[in-house]
Amino acid sequence: MDMNARRDQWLLAIAGAADAAALAELDTRLFGSKGEVLDLVRTVTTLPKEERPVFGKAANAVKQEVEAALAARREQFAQRAMQKDLDTSDFDPTEPGPKRPRGALHPITIVQNELVDLFTSLGFQWQDGPEVESEYFNFDALNIPSDHPARESQDTFWLAEHAGLGKNLLRTHTSPVQVRTLQRALRAGFNPPLKVIVPGRCFRSETVDKSHEHTFYQMEGLVVDRVHGEHGISTANLIHTMKTCLRVILERDVQVRLRPGFFPFVEPGFELDVNCPFCKGQGCSVCKQSGWIEVLPCGMVHPNVLRQGGLDPEEYTGFAFGMGLQRVVMLRYGIDDIRQFMGGDLRFLAQFPEVSR
């Protein structure tokens, strides 16, 4: 039997296979270790050399044609089996599939992004700094004396010292970026006014409770201009900026109070508090029975900080603030336990419409 006749016979057998099992048996008969198609291909080695190219090419063409016919017939049986399953089930292929869970932003990230958008619309620029900071930028450059209690191990995570590198630590606030930014601006040719925000993660050796965490997020703000510049930086500018920020983020008018506060890097310094939304000012465990929640330490930039940044305090002035992002988020959403933010419970995240879409 010549090659074409054998090909026709194989193709006819494939087309006449009754089911997938019969097709599988035929596949073994044709392409098994002693398969008929493979025997045809092996025949090329028995021919004279001058006949091998033509015969080998024709044999390979037959082999490929039979393989394609097998694959097509196998697909037909698969489609029939699928259709049979569909016909005997209540599955509706036109019905939408199950909703796949999507990743989400953390509520702190959401509020941080909104704050960045707000401040950039007011002319601020985003700056960043290292989380592993030097003692100089974290304390010395911010006018924090060497005997200040904040430097002690119960407040600061100190890192192992390395020869010639000085003492490093996990930054306790975002304020070191103030001096870094001033120095960078001076090297680039200082062109006041300077308005920057610095969102970032900070670390303190705190006892964790409902209102304190060892790892937390701040947003630093700094505005510097000439003392006699056209913008006229003053405490009034600071208060207006903070109230505008809180009104937008908390999505309501807020009652605030400004009370004196000591921070070595500002003079005068203030604590800006917001009326407690949980007890409406009556006193509760969240506000420690005071009726107020501290949100914004702030003040006018201390002259020594300006000097460390390379500016003359007789010529320049400004204000700075450090916002606790967790506390702002707690105020916005009525969260009464700061530990929820780092708890990793997806049920907590699902409560926020912005992150559960």
Same domain, 63 and 198: no
pLDDT of residue 165: 58
Asked, for residue 93, whether it belongs to a domain, the answer is no
pLDDT of residue 293: 80
Same domain, 205 and 58: no
Same domain, 296 and 190: yes
Segment 211-254, tens digit of pLDDT: 788 999 999 999 999 887 665 688 888 888 888 888 887 777 77
pLDDT of residue 1: 55
Using CB atoms within 10 Å of the CB of residue 7, give its burial: 0 to 12 exposed, 13 to 18 middle, 19+ buried. buried
- Could you give the C-alpha distances from 229 to 224, 232, 315, in angstroms and in order? 10, 6, 9
Asked, for residue 259, whether it belongs to a domain, the answer is yes
Order of all β-strands in the sheet with 266-275: 125-126, 194-203, 215-226, 316-324, 292-301, 266-275, 256-260
The residue among 355, 338, 356 whose CA lies nearest residue 110 is: 355
The residue among 245, 215, 212 whose CA lies nearest residue 330 is: 212
Asked, for residue 186, whether it belongs to a domain, the answer is yes
Q: What percent of the chain has pLDDT over 90?
A: 27
pLDDT of residue 357: 39
Segment 309-345, tens digit of pLDDT: 999 998 999 999 988 899 888 888 888 889 999 888 8
CA 23 to chain centroid, in Å, comes to 53
Mean pLDDT of the chain: 85
Could you tell me if residue 166 is left (phi over 0), alpha (psi between -120 and 50 degrees) or otherwise beta? Answer: left
Same domain, 140 and 283: yes
Same domain, 193 and 225: yes
What's the pTM value of the predicted model, to 2 decimals?
0.65
Same domain, 304 and 242: yes
CA 279 to chain centroid, in Å, comes to 33
Segment 254-301, tens digit of pLDDT: 778 888 888 888 888 988 888 887 787 788 877 788 888 877 888 999
- Helix (H), strand (E), coil (C) string for the chain: CCHHHHHHHHHHHHHCCCCHHHHHHHHHHHHCCCCHHHHHHHHHHHCCCCCHHHHHHHHHHHHHHHHHHHHHHHHHHHHHHHHHHHHCCCCCCCCCCCCCCCCCCCHHHHHHHHHHHHHHHCCCEECCCCCEEEHHHHCHHHCCCCCCHHHCCCCCCECCCECCCECEEECCCCCHHHHHHHHHHHHCCCCCCEEEEEEEEEECCCCCECCECCEEEEEEEEEEEECCCCCCCCHHHHHHHHHHHHHHHHCCCCCEEEEECCCCCEEEEEEEEEECCCCCCCCCCCCCCCCEEEEEEEEEECHHHHHHCCCCCCCEEEEEEEEEHHHHHHHHHCCCCHHHHHCCCHHHHCCCCCCCC
Where is the domain boundary, 87, 121, 143? 87
Count of the separate structural domains present in the chain: 2
- Whether the pLDDT of residue 130 is over 90: the answer is yes
Same domain, 8 and 135: no
Asked, for residue 174, whether it belongs to a domain, the answer is yes
Same domain, 215 and 288: yes
Same domain, 134 and 273: yes
Asked, for residue 76, whether it belongs to a domain, the answer is yes
State the average pLDDT over residues 82-107.
81
Token duo for residue 116: 């960045």
Same domain, 118 and 190: yes
Asked, for residue 54, whether it belongs to a domain, the answer is yes
Segment 175-195, tens digit of pLDDT: 999 999 999 998 888 888 899
Asked, for residue 95, whether it belongs to a domain, the answer is no
pLDDT of residue 147: 80
Same domain, 59 and 164: no
The domain of 30 spans 3-87
pLDDT of residue 356: 40
Do the strands 256-260 and 266-275 form a parallel or antiparallel pair, or are they unpaired? antiparallel
Where is the domain boundary, 87, 120, 136? 87
pLDDT of residue 354: 53
Asked, for residue 51, whether it belongs to a domain, the answer is yes
pLDDT of residue 175: 92
Where is the domain boundary, 87, 121, 144? 87
pLDDT of residue 163: 54
In this prediction, residue 169 has a pLDDT band, given cuts at 50, 70 and 90, of very high
CATH assignment at residue 320: 3.30.930.10
- Whether the pLDDT of residue 303 is over 90: the answer is yes
pLDDT of residue 45: 85
Same domain, 32 and 131: no
pLDDT of residue 302: 93
